[in-house]
Amino acid sequence: RAESERSAAHSPAKTRDGRHIEVCANIGNGQEASHAVDEGADGVGLMRSEFLFLERQEAPDETSQREQYQMALDGMGGKPVIIRTLDIGADKQLTYLRMMQVPNPALGVRGVRLWQTEPQLLDTQLRALLGVTPLEALRIMLPMVTEVAELRQVRQRIEAIAGELGLAQRPQLGVMIEVPAAALCAASLAQEADFFSIGTNDLTQYTLAMDREDPSLAARADVLHPAVLRLIHATVEGAAGHCPVGVCGTSAGDPLAAPVLVALGVNELSTEPARIPAIKAALRRLDAAALAHHMPELLAMDDAMAVRERVADILAQAN
Ligand code: PEP
Ligand code: MG
């Protein structure tokens, strides 16, 4: 059974009601891309570029960054690769960036917010990204976006650099939806973003005010909390007709949460490579439209535990 699941992982995942869901891989460096292909990845849904910047004395230069980005694209052999710009701050710090010590780094200067004070770091990363081929396969994604001005600023830099480099093409530019404000203002962001990817780890943390690193809250910091599900619903509604919506948080690899995300209208899931076969198998068993009929009931429930139990019931009855 495990073997047939593995070989099925290399074909696209279609739900019982005929929706095609892309199941992609989260990776931390260029080398991991070819392993992700072996597991059946339809693309890379999140390359966390910060791993290239950690545990070093200085930031990686343009050439060494480009090598890693190109390796990810080559490993994927033309399938789409979403590379996230540096997401530093909060839990991850760099010794060569003297960032102010603040009491609440999770609410401080992290993700795109860093570009206000470190524009040259952004420019180097964008130059490295714009140097890869083919540009059609590359998607650039911005972490911790709160409002559309942050997206505009980066798009302007991409325009300027692509102009200098004489490029005819521009890669797609998308945003992560991981701050509640972004979910609630999704319609505004969707006017200018080429795609959304919901970061459910941070979206859950910031919605429930529960630190994702706090073990005593781990059981309750659950994406299936109705408040988080409502924000995902708002994101999909805001994006409708403008840009596609994926999920790249841990929930995309959760066999109970993934069907709920798809029933809410998400069309791409990105997870650890090893989880891809099982998630594709779960999607093939899913009637997303039937589960969507239960959504008003699920969104009105008291807590995540109640949603988990109800979804498990619904899925068990359907199979
Ligand atoms: C997330 O927040 O869900 C996410 C995918 O990003 P990270 O876990 O790197 O913060
Ligand atoms: Mg995040």
Secondary structure in 3-state letters for 88-131? CECCECCCCCCCCCCCCHHHCCCHHHHHHCCHHHHHHHHHHHHC
Using the atom order of ligand 1, give the atom closest to the CA of residue 200.
Answer: 3
Provide the token pair at 185.
Answer: 């203002």
Contact 77, 33 (CB under 8 A): no
Residue-wise pLDDT tens digits, 208-222: 999 999 999 999 999
Q: ipTM exceeding 0.90?
A: yes
Residue-wise pLDDT tens digits, 15-72: 999 999 999 999 999 999 999 999 999 999 999 999 999 989 999 999 999 999 999 9
State the distance from the centre of ligand 2 to the C-alpha of 125, rounded, in angstroms.
19
C-beta 199 within 6 A of ligand 1: yes
Q: Which residue has the tokens 């969104």?
A: 299
Q: Which of 35, 12, 38 is nearest to 23 (CA)?
A: 12
CA distance 108 to 266: 29
The confidence band for 1, taking pLDDT boundaries of 50, 70 and 90, is: low
Mutate to test the pocket of ligand 1, among 211, 248, 250 (most ligand atoms within 8 A of CB): 248
Mean predicted confidence (pLDDT) in 230-255:
98
Mutate to test the pocket of ligand 1, among 53, 107, 146, 178 (most ligand atoms within 8 A of CB): 178
Work out whether strand 44-48 and strand 172-177 pair parallel, antiparallel, or are unpaired.
Answer: unpaired
- pTM for the full predicted model: 0.97
